[in-house]
Structure 1
Amino acid sequence: MDEQILALNTEHHLQLLESLGTPGFYGLFLDWLHQELSTDQCMVFFCPDGDRLTTLISKDFSRDQRARQLALSYIAEEHYRQDPIFKTVQQCQPGQLITLPLSSVCQKMGRLYRERFITGPGFVDKWSIVCSSSDGNFYINLYSRRTPYADLFGGPPLDACKPNRLELDTARLIATLITKHYLLNHQLLNQGPLAPLSERERQVCEAMLAGKKAEAIGYDLGIAASSIVTYRKRAYDKLGICSRAQLFDLCR
């Protein structure tokens, strides 16, 4: 991978920077990861209290519903407590930036955990970034089905103890984008995985999470129940889910 990845001088990169703190950031950020870092799945979690994780970003570029369901179960069934990196997320101190290649933690994963979240969905590599902010700690996971991340960074297999310059600079860039995005707009942090949705789509999902049916939501928002169904479908498509149960899992 050429070091131009760090030179944010293209139109797309400028749009990405300008979108920080807005809902438009998510699509631009994910497209950049997919196109320039060969990332096939991106999961960003937030640890606000040192005890639990919540989902901020969940995107799998494949149409594999199994992979998406596994990503949801990671939070809903608290599989993150079996994740060998979770303790690092809990203990990350202000100002710290930690990069963790799959090779550094693979042997610490239980066999079933590894099969469920790595080999089963077809990933050949995973690269994790842990960073801290004044609000809590961020846990950023990038997965690839195509290319080991070491190949992208032009070196031997990634080493958690000695990341090369390009790997470290890229990690700093990603961590800065994520932390600045939520620092500029705390409301997006509170909205969690619903932040990329339009206002109406988010209102519909929030009402569903409160247990309301389409008719009641339509009455509250002053729109037809058929419009609620349309907004719900659009929201599901953006979130990569297909049911109310998956919405609840995603927003736990």
Structure 2
Amino acid sequence: MMQQTIALETAGGLLQSLGTAQFTSRLWSWLHGVVDPCCYHMTALRFRRGSQQPAVEQLDVLFFAGNADPEETRLALSLYQQDMEWKQDRQLLQFIEQVQDPQLVLSRNEVYPPTAYGRMIAQSPLGEECSLLGCETDYVYLLSIFRNRHTPSFTLGELSRLRQTCHFLIPLLARHAQLSTPCITPSQDTLLQYFDRCLQLAGKQLSGRERLICHAMLQGWSVPQIAEHVSISQCSVRTYMERALAKIGVTSKSELFAWCVTVEQRHRQPAALS
């Protein structure tokens, strides 16, 4: 069955491109063109399990590709990684902690956490998710293939076809991860750049100090931490914070995240329709 699923030329191209950016584009081209023409997006993750216990210790984002907006995808994955959102998905973690042989997990993605990441995914076109899982040594590799929210669900035949690719794809992901670097590193730069872009799109003007305070908020700093870092009183921090949030039209950090998502969506939709 596998010989009918992937041509030798395609397999050779994937092997030759391991460790390069071409691997991602070739893998997406094959998945979208041959395996699942209805797939909308894909994401590859690597989870590190403890040597003595199966608990997950670390997450790396290896790559992503597809039709989803790349800037929004990068921000969402940054939040998923940095804010430990993946630790909230206990159902998926159970599979990751216990997996020994390649397997497939189907997720409906109908309920999202009330976080910045959850809001972004809820407003995105991402719908049903088919995840291919497999492990090597201390790592578990996950390739998630998403349907568009308005696309019909995976059929049993389609899931069976995807399941057949596990034994070929998991070793490829492991080798690619060894030869390349994760596409997203644990940094807040992506989030702060996204916030600054949303300020520009919305025409909001903040003072340098107000913008600095917002950056610190988005990085999860407390008022005492901000005060110590900026060398001002906690009362002054709260004043700058209230001014900045009032100018933007929100009242809390969670609303600030939601505002960013709304601004980005509102300014991206006209471009997509034109």
TM-score range for the pair, normalised by the shorter chain length: 0.5 to 0.7
Which residue number corresponds to residue 257 of structure 2?
none
Structure 2 CA distance for partners of 1:129 and 1:7, relative to 1, 3 Å: closer
Give, as a single letter, the amino acid of the residue that structure 2 aligns with 1:150: F
Which residue number corresponds to residue 16 of structure 1?
14
Correspondent of 1:73 among 79, 94, 105: 79
* CA-to-aligned-CA distance 1:195-232 (integer Å, 9 cap, x gap): xxxxxxxxxx9xxx7x9xxxxxxxxxxxxxxxxxxxxx
Q: In the alignment, is residue 99 of structure 1 matched against residue 104 of structure 2?
A: yes
Count of residue correspondences: 185
Q: Distance in 2 between matches of 1:170 and 1:112?
A: 34
Q: Distance in 2 between matches of 1:55 and 1:76?
A: 11
DSSP 3-state at the match of 1:124: strand
- CA RMSD in angstroms, aligned pairs only: 4.0
Correspondent of 1:170 among 165, 169, 173: 165
Q: Distance in 1 between matches of 2:60 and 2:176?
A: 17
Q: 1:51: how far off?
A: 1.9
Correspondent of 1:120 among 113, 123, 147: 123
Structure 2 CA distance for partners of 1:150 and 1:173, relative to 1, 3 Å: farther
Structure 2 portions without partners, runs of 5+? 50-55, 197-274
Q: Distance in 1 between matches of 2:114 and 2:152?
A: 22
Which residue number corresponds to residue 88 of structure 1?
95
Q: TM-score, normalised by structure 1?
A: 0.57
Q: Distance in 1 between matches of 2:113 and 2:120?
A: 10
Q: Distance in 1 between matches of 2:192 and 2:113?
A: 29
**Superposed, which structure 2 residues align to 1:27-46 within 5 Å?**
27-36=25-34, 37=36, 38-46=38-46
Q: 1:91: how far off?
A: 3.0
**Superposed, which structure 2 residues align to 1:143-162 within 5 Å?**
143-145=146-148, 147-148=151-152, 150-151=154-155, 154=157
Say whether the 8 Å CA contact 2:129–2:146 is kept in structure 1: yes
Q: TM-score, normalised by structure 2?
A: 0.53
**Superposed, which structure 2 residues align to 1:225-236 within 5 Å?**
none
After the TM superposition, which segments of 4 or more aligned residues of structure 1 sit over 4 Å from their partners?
2-5, 109-115
DSSP 3-state at the match of 1:81: helix
DSSP 3-state at the match of 1:154: helix
DSSP 3-state at the match of 2:182: helix
* CA-to-aligned-CA distance 1:153-186 (integer Å, 9 cap, x gap): 636xx5xxxxx3x23212333223213434xxx3
Q: In the alignment, is residue 57 of structure 1 matched against residue 39 of structure 2?
A: no
Which residue number corresponds to residue 143 of structure 2?
140
Q: 1:135: how far off?
A: 4.2
Identical residues among aligned pairs (%): 16
DSSP 3-state at the match of 1:140: strand
Which residue number corresponds to residue 182 of structure 2?
192
Q: In the alignment, is residue 129 of structure 1 matched against residue 124 of structure 2?
A: no
Structure 2 CA distance for partners of 1:98 and 1:112, relative to 1, 3 Å: farther
Structure number with higher relative contact order (C-alpha < 8 Å, ≥ 6 residues apart): 1
Q: Distance in 1 between matches of 2:153 and 2:12?
A: 24
Say whether the 8 Å CA contact 1:44–1:58 is kept in structure 2: yes
